[in-house]
Structures are given as structure tokens and as C-alpha cells.
Structure 1
């Protein structure tokens, strides 16, 4: 795919949704960090249902610690892998209190050192909470990037590096949200909705579906 076509795709996505946002509900960097950590192999809808009950009771690292590990588990038990996620979030809160003054660090290395936080989660927090031009590649972005031929790669790191290289600076802060939403609602895994896709004529997917 050439540069001109990529810019046209990004321009259309931007025109359609000028201020994209995550579908996870949060009101602080800490709430976002917890929500993203809980969202691994779970839906945003499911995470939001749990955090709507959790955050009014405990939405700071110390608040989670005061709740206790068992108390935290009770709030997130509807989310897949809740036991390991509760352990990670609890340990994360201990580190935030002890080493970071209860603040979420605006630093990749410090974020990735937290339990349950990998590169993707760190990228989401840096991008969404702090406005960094980082691109977190999840299953939706990986699929859309490869299927459209926008940024092909054999794994998420390769796709992330390709996106970093080919996405112009003016689009970098928002591209992650556009591609996720496009993959979630239009370029879906089982059957893409090509007929109602605003970039269908630019997409290089060979097996387009009329829908």
C-alpha cells in the first residue's frame, strides 16, 4: 500500500470520528490503568460493568489496598481470569504506593515493570491518559492492519513498528482508536462489513464481502 492511499484512509477515519475515545470508562490515569489491565481477553463492556461498581468504592491505589485482595476479587469476579488479574492489580497498587507516590508513572519502563502491564497496556495508558503518540496493537488492529494491507506484520510488535513508520505524525495520537473501532464494528473477524465500510475502495483485501 502506498503513502497516498494510507493518508486518504486516515483522513476518512478522522473525518468520520475527529475525537475518538476508548470505550473503557475511566476518570483518571489510575482508573484507566486498572481498566486496561482487566480488559485482557475480556470485553470493554464486561470490564465497564465491573468497574462501575468498583471505582465508586476504590479508585486509588490505597483504596484498592484498603479493599483487600478478597474484596477486589468480589468486584471483578465477572471478568475472565479474575483471580490472576486481582493479584496483579493488588500488587500493582502496592508498587504505586511504595515507589510512585500513588501516581501512575508517565514512563514506559516504569509502567512495564508493574504486574500485569505489558507493552500493549503501557502504550494504551501513555496514549490515552497522557497523549503520547504510541500505538497499542491488539487483535483488532493486528487484523485490520494485515487485512487491508495498511501495515502488515507477522506479530503485534512487527505491526506496531510498521504503523510507527508509516503513520504520519498528525494522525499518530488517534490512529490506535480509529483502527480498534474499525475492527470492532466494521472490519470484524468473521465477516467484514465491506459494503458499509468507508474505506472499502482503498482497502487491498482481496476477498471483500458484500454487506
Structure 2
């Protein structure tokens, strides 16, 4: 895909949604970190339902430690892989207290050193909590980037590197939100809704649907 097409796609997505936000509910960097950690292989809706009950009782590292691991498990048991996620969040809280004064570090290396936190989670936290122009590539972004030919890559890291290269600076803070939402609601996995897509004429997917 050429530069002119990419620019027009980004411009249309921005005009349609000038201030995109994550669909995870949070009010602090710590709440976001927990929510993103819980969201692996789970829907944002299921995470929001669980954190709506958890965060009023415990929304700080010390608060999580105070309610205990069993209570944490009980609060998130409706989310897939809740046992391992509870263990990771609990250990994460102890590390945040011991090494970071109970605060979420604004640092990629420190974030990725936390249990249950990989590159994608770190990118989301750096972007949504601290405003960094990071691009967190999930399955939606991977699919949309390859399907449209906007930024093709054999895996999520390759797609992230391509997006970093081809997305102009002015769009970088918001591009991952636009692509996630586009993949979640329009360019869906099984049958993309091409007929109602605002970038259909620019997309290079050959098997368009009605």
C-alpha cells in the first residue's frame, strides 16, 4: 500500500473518531495495568464486569495484597485463566511496592519485568496511561493490518515494526485504538462488514463482502 492511501485511511479514521479510547474501564495507571493483564484471551466486557466489583474494594497494589489472593481469585473467577492471572496480579502488586514505591513505572523494561506483562500490555499502559506513541498489536490489529495491506507482517512484532515505520507521527498516539475498534466492529474476523466500511475503497482486500 502506498503512502497516499495510508494517509487517507488514517485521516478518515481520525475524522470518524477524533478522540478514541480503550474500552477497558480504568481511572488510574494501576487499574489500567490490572485490567490489561486480565484481558489476555478475554473480552473487555468480561474484564470490566469483574473490575467493577474489584476496584471499589481494592484498586492499589497494597489494596490487592490486603484483600488476599483468594479474594482476588474470587473477584475475577468469571474471566478465563483466572487462576494464573490472579497469581500474576498478586505477585505484580508486591513487586510494585518493593521496587517502585507502589506506583506503575513509566518504563517499558520495568513494565515487561512484571509477572503477566508482555510487550503488548506494556504498550497499552504506556499509551493509554502515559500518552506514549506506542502501538499495541493484538489479533484485531494484526488482522486489519494484513487484510487491508496497510502494514503486512508475519507476526504481531513484524506488524508493530511496520506500523511504527509507516504511520506518521501525528497519528501514532491513537492509531492502535482506531485499528482495534475497526477490527472489533467492522473488519471482523469471519465476515468483514465491507459495505459499511468507511475505508472500503482504499482497502486492498480482494474478497470484499456486500
Residue 113 of structure 2 is matched in structure 1 by 113
CA–CA separation in structure 1 for the residues paired with 2:57 and 2:159: 39
4+ runs deviating over 4 angstroms: none
Residue 35 of structure 2 is matched in structure 1 by 35
What does 1:1-20 correspond to in 2, within 5 Å?
A: 1-20=1-20
Residue 172 of structure 2 is matched in structure 1 by 172
Residue 94 of structure 1 is matched in structure 2 by 94
Stretches of structure 2 that go unaligned for 5 or more consecutive residues are none
CA–CA separation in structure 2 for the residues paired with 1:103 and 1:10: 34
Residue 144 of structure 1 is matched in structure 2 by 144
How far is 1:170 from its partner? Answer: 0.1
2:185 aligned with 1:209, yes or no? no
CA–CA separation in structure 2 for the residues paired with 1:51 and 1:69: 15
CA–CA separation in structure 2 for the residues paired with 1:54 and 1:190: 34
2:22 aligned with 1:45, yes or no? no
How far is 1:168 from its partner? Answer: 0.1
| Deviation string, structure 1 residues 5-62 (Cα, Å, up to 9, x no partner) | 0000000000000000000000000000000000000000000000000000000000
2:83 aligned with 1:78, yes or no? no
Q: Could you say what secondary structure the match of 1:85 adopts?
A: helix
CA–CA separation in structure 2 for the residues paired with 1:130 and 1:176: 15
How far is 1:87 from its partner? Answer: 0.2
CA–CA separation in structure 2 for the residues paired with 1:190 and 1:93: 38
Q: What's the C-alpha RMSD, in Å, of the aligned pairs?
A: 0.2
TM-score, scaled to structure 2? 1.00
CA–CA separation in structure 2 for the residues paired with 1:21 and 1:134: 14
* Aligned positions, number: 210
TM-score, scaled to structure 1? 0.99
